[in-house]
Amino acid sequence: MDLQTAAQINSFLAAFVLLTAFGMLVQKRIYSLIHLFAWQGLLLSINTAIVGYVASKHHLYISSILTLSLKVFLLPYILHVLIVRLRIRREVETLVNIPMLMLIGLALVIFSYHLMAPVSELSKLITRSTLAVALATVMIGLLMMITRKHAVTQIIGFLAMENGLFFAATSATYGMPLVVELGVALDVLIAAFIFGIFFFHIHTTFDSLDVDQMARLKEGD
Amino acid sequence: MILLVLLGVPLAAALLLAFVGDRKLAPEINILGSAATCVAGFALALEVYEHGPMMAGGKFFFVDAFNVYLAVLTSFVSMTTAVFSRRYMRREREHGRVGQVRMRFYHAMYQLFIFAMLLCLLTNNIGVLWIAMELATLSTVLLVSLYRTPTAIEAAWKYFILCGVGISQALFGTVLLYFAAEKVLGEGGDALLWTNLNQVSGQLEPTVLSLAFVFLMVGYGTKVGLVPLHNWLPDAHSEGPTPISAVLSGLLLNIALYALVRCKVLVDGSTHTHHAGNIMMGFGLLSILVAAFSLLRQKDVKRMFSYSSIEHMGIATFAFGLGGPIATFGALLHMLVHSLAKSAIFFTVGHASQMHRTQEMDKIQGLFRGNPLVGWGLMFGVMAIVGMPPFGIFTSEFLILTATIKDAPLLTPFLLLGLGVAFAALFRKVQPMVAGEIPSHQRPLKVAHFPVLLHMALVLVLGLYLPDFLSQWFHTAVELLK
C-alpha cells in the first residue's frame, strides 16, 4: 500500500467516524445508539491498524486490538446487559430539536477545522488532515452529553469523546506512547465498571435513569 | 528505593484492606499504612534535601523541590485524616449510615486514592500524570456516593461526568503537547518526560503549545475547581463522608493545580510571553470573586467550606499566573497552609455535624460549650482560613497581595474585595455556630483530638516562623518555576 492510498483510506474512514458521531448526536433509540458507538469503534480500530501498517509503527497494532476488544465488543456488551437488566425504555428524547442540533454540530466541525489549521500545517504525517475531524468528534461528544438527559446516553457521549481523543492521538502523532495508551484504556475500563454500578444506584434511588430528576442540589438563596 | 516504598505501601494497603474487609482492625491498618507512607514521604524529602533533585526507574520518576513538598504534604494529611476517620466512621456505622460492604470499599479506595495522588506527583511522564489524575477521580467517585442518599448519588454523578469531560480536554492538550515534543525529541515515551521537555522547551512550537495550554487549563482547571468549571465541587465535597471531603479539598485540588503549573512552565519556556499566566490570572480572580459572594448564601456548613476551597485555589492559581519570585513563593506556601487549615476545619465540621446530626448551619449551635475542642478548633480554623495573623495563610496572602500591588496594581481592588467578602461571610456564619447555649438536640461525642490540634499548631507555626529548610525548598521551587 503506498502512502497516497493510505492517506485516502484514512480520510475516508475519518469521514465515516464523523458520520457516526453525527448519527449518535441525533439518534433517539438507545440500541441503535450503542450499535453506532460500536461501529465508530470498529472504524477507529481499522484506521489505527492501517496507519500502523503504513507507518510501520507496531505498537499501533496493540492499540488497534485494544480498541477492537474494548470499544467494539466489551463496552457495547456491558451497556447492552445493563439496559436489559434495568428494563430501560427504548426511546430517549433529546433536549433541543434535531435540525438545531445538526446545525450546532456543523458549527463545531467548522470551528475545529479553524482551530486545528495551524497545527495540521506543521505536521508531515499522512494523517494530518484528520486531526480536525478528531477534535470535532470530541466536541460533538461533548454536545451530546450536554443535550441528553438520560444517564446511559450521557455515558455514550462520554465514550464517544474518548473515541475522538484516541483518534486525535492517532492522527497527530501516530498514537501516544504505549504506556499512556494502556493506562488510558485501563482508566476507561474502570470507568465502565463505575458507571455500571452507578446505573444500578440511580435506578434504585430515582426509579429511572433520567438525570433530570437529579436536581436537589441547587444553590439555595 | 524510598520511592518504591512510598508508592508501594498505599497500593499494598489498598489490596490488604480489600481482603481484610470490615474487621475490627481495618481502621488501624488504614492508619498504619498511611503512617508508613508518611514516613517514606519524609525520608524521600530528606534525601532530596541533601542530594538535590533525583530521577529513578529509568527517568520514569522525577523528584524535585516542587513535588517533594507536595508529596510530604499529601502523605502527612492522609495520615492525620486516617486517624480522624477511625473515630468518625465508627460513629457513622453506629448511626447505620454505612454497612460492612461499604466500609471495606471505603478503606480500600482511600488507600488507592492516596496511591493515585502520589503517582501523579512523582511521575515524570505527563501522560502518566493524566492517567493517575483520572484514577484519583475514579477512586473517589464511589466514595462520594457512599451514603447512597439521593443527593449523594446526584453529587457523585455530577462529579463523575463533569470531571470526566474536563479531564478529556486535558488529554487532548497532552496529545497536542506530545505532537510538539515529538518534532524535537523524536517519538516514544521519552518525548513525554517532563525533564526532557523542560530542557528543550525553547524549541517547542509556540502556536501548538499555546493552543495545548487552553485545553490543559480547561481540563485540569475543572479538577482544581476554578469558576466557571466548579459546579461539581461543592456538591461532591458536601455530600461525601467528611474524611473524604477533607482529602478532596486539602489534597486533590492541590494535585490538579500542580499538574497545571508543570504544564505552564513548559508553555512559558516555549512562547516567552505571559499568555499562560494571563489565562491563569483570569480564572483565578474570577474564582475568588464568585466563590466569595457564593459564601454569603450558603446554608450547609460543608458546602460553605467547599466554596472557601474554590476561593483559595483561585488565590493560588492567580498567584502562579502572576509569576515572579514573591507571588510564586506565596502560592507555594498558600497551597501548604490552606491544605492544613482546610482539612482541620473539615475535621471539626465533621464532628460538629455528627453532634447535631445535621449539616445545616442554623441547627448547629453552642459548640464552645458543647465541645470546646470542636468549637475552638472551628473558630481558630476559620480565623486561619480568612487570613488573620498570626496564622500561615496571612503570610501567604500578604505575599501574594504585595506582589499584586507591584506587578498588577489594577487588579488589587478586586483581589481585596474577594478576600474582604470571604472574611465577612465566614465570620458571620461561624459566629452563631460556636457561640450560644447548647441546643437540646446536641449530643456529646468522643472526638479525635490529635489531627485537629496538630494541623492548627502547624498552621500557627508556619505563620510565625518559616523553618530554614522549608524556605530554602520554596526558593529552589521558585527557581524551577521561573
What does the domain layout of chain A look like in residue ranges? 3-213
Q: B147 pLDDT exceeds 60?
A: yes
Q: What pLDDT score was predicted for residue A93?
A: 65
- Residue A92: pLDDT band with limits 50, 70, 90: low
Q: Tens of pLDDT along B43-67? A: 999 988 888 888 887 888 999 888 9
What does the alpha-carbon distance between residue B217 and residue B320 come to, in Å, rounded to a whole number? 13
The answer, yes or no, to whether residue A220 has pLDDT greater than 60, is no
pLDDT higher than threshold 90 for residue B190: no
User: Does B171 sit within 8 Å of A184, measured CB to CB?
Assistant: yes
Are B438 and B293 in contact by the 8 Å Cβ rule? The answer is no
Report chain B residues whose CB lies below 8 A from the CB of A194. Answer: 138, 141-142, 160
A189 inside 8 A of chain B by CB: no
Q: Contact B13/B111 with Cβ under 8 angstroms?
A: yes
Specify the pLDDT at position A95.
64
* Cβ atoms B327, B407 nearer than 8 A: yes
Question: Are residues B155 and B144 in contact, defined by beta-carbon separation less than 8 angstroms?
Answer: yes
Alpha carbon of B365: minimum distance to chain A alpha carbons (Å): 21
Cis before B390? omega within 30: yes
CA distance A176 to chain B (A): 7
Contact of B179 with chain A, judged by CB distance below 8 Å, is answered with yes
Longest dimension (CA), chain B: 70
Q: What is the DSSP letter of A29?
A: B
Mean pLDDT score of chain B, rounded to an integer? 92
Given A168, A179, A195, which is nearest B175 (Cβ)? A168
* Residue A121 pLDDT: 84
Could you tell me if B187 lies within 8 Å of chain A, comparing CB atoms?
Answer: yes
Q: Which of B70, B80, B75 is nearest to B457 (CA)?
A: B80
Burial class of residue B155, CB neighbours in 10 A (0-12, 13-18, 19+): buried
> What are the chain B neighbours of A185 within 8 Å (beta carbons)?
none
Between B479 and B186, residue with greater pLDDT? B479
Q: What band does A221 get if pLDDT is binned at 50, 70 and 90?
A: very low
Pick from A120, A187, A204, A218 the residue to mutate for testing the B interface (most B CBs within 10 Å): A187
Phi, psi of B125 (to 5 degrees): -95, 120
Segment A200-217 shows an average pLDDT of: 80
Instruction: Provide DSSP, A101-122.
Output: HHHHHHHHHHHHHHHHHHHHHH
Provide the pLDDT confidence category of residue A94 given band limits of 50, 70 and 90.
low
Give residue for cell 480568612.
B386
Inter-CA distances, A42 with A65, A66, A70, A76, B392, Å: 10, 11, 10, 12, 56
Inter-chain contact B205–A202, Cβ cutoff 8 Å?
Answer: no
Owner of C-alpha cell 489490596: B15
Look at residue A132 in the predicted model and tell me its pLDDT: 92
Contacts of B191 in chain A (CB under 8 A): 177
Mean pLDDT of B275-289: 95
* Residues 6+ away with beta carbon under 8 Å from A9: A47, A50
Q: Which has more pLDDT, B61 or A120? A: B61
pLDDT for B222 equals: 94
ipTM: 0.93
Q: Do A172 and B176 touch (CB under 8 A)?
A: yes
Cell of B429: 456564619
- Using alpha carbons, list the distances in angstroms from residue B374 to B368, B389, B432, B446, B453: 7, 21, 14, 11, 10
Q: Which of A32, A52, A53, A47 is nearest to A156 (CA)?
A: A32
* Cβ-contact B88, B351 below 8 angstroms: yes
Mean pLDDT score, B139-164: 91
Partners of A220 on chain B (C-beta within 8 Å) are 297, 299
In this predicted structure, what is the pLDDT of residue B244?
95
Among A180, A181, A202, the residue to mutate for chain B (most B Cβ within 10 A)? A180
Nearest-by-Cβ selection for B127 from A123, A151, A177? A177
pLDDT of residue B241: 93
Question: How many Cα atoms are found within 13 Å in the side-chain-facing hemisphere of B122?
Answer: 28
| Burial (Cβ within 10 Å: 0-12, 13-18, ≥19) of residue B238 | buried
Q: Are B97 and B147 in contact (CB under 8 A)?
A: yes
The model's confidence at residue A218, banded by pLDDT at 50, 70 and 90, is low
Quick check: A41 and A68 in contact, CB under 8 A? yes
- pLDDT tens across A47-73, in order? 999 999 988 888 889 999 999 999 999
Average pLDDT, chain A: 87
Mean pLDDT throughout B211-222? 94
Assess contact for B217 and B169: CB atoms under 8 A: no
Position A39 confidence tier, pLDDT thresholds 50, 70, 90: very high
pLDDT score at B188 = 72
Is the CB of residue A122 less than 8 Å away from at least one CB of chain B? yes
What would the mean pLDDT of A91-98 be, rounded to a whole number? 69
In this structure, of A76-90, A178-192, B28-42, the range with the lowest mean pLDDT score is A76-90
C-alpha cell at B26: 481495618
Query: Considering only CA atoms, which of A51, A185, A180, A184 is closest in space to residue A128?
Result: A51
